[in-house]
Amino acid sequence: NAGVIQTPRHKVTGKGQEATLWCEPISGHSAVFWYRQTIVQGLEFLTYFRNQAPIDDSGMPKERFSAQMPNQSHSTLKIQSTQPQDSAVYLCASSLDRGRYAEQFFGPGTRLTVL
């Protein structure tokens, strides 16, 4: 079975440009998560969808960041007017999200570099 798929694997943008990151969760998983990883902050939660509905976006920066899940097979994270501090690895994870099946499985990540 394919794991979580993320595209692109690497993205370079200029300051002020928009970046859209894509995630395809594991088939049958009802929960999708976005995290960000930097050397300084480590792994930080951004947002979470269950059955495509946004449930928790407590980690999302209030400006410039948005996430959507238009169907069960993909989610997008969009960053408008990218800034150098947005440079990070953005990780998508999915989970069955049912009691004993609580593990989240991570994709390979998208490394975003903002010049």
Residues that bind other proteins (CB under 8 A): 31, 33, 35, 42-45, 48, 50, 55-56, 58-59, 89, 91, 95, 97, 102-106, 108-109
Measured from the CB atom, the residue of 75 and 104 that comes closer to other proteins is 104
- Measured from the CB of residue 66, what is the shortest distance to other proteins in angstroms? 18
CB of residue 81 to other proteins, shortest distance in Å: 26
Tokens of 97: 């999200």
Is the Cβ–Cβ distance between 105 and 3 less than 8 Å?
yes
Least distance to other proteins, CB of residue 11, Å: 15
Q: Please say whether the beta carbons of 62 and 77 come within 8 A.
A: no
What are the strands, taking DSSP E only, across 1-115? 5-7, 10-13, 19-24, 31-38, 42-50, 53-56, 65-71, 74-79, 88-95, 105-106, 110-114
Considering the complex, state which of residue 17 and residue 96 has its C-beta at the smaller distance from other proteins. 96
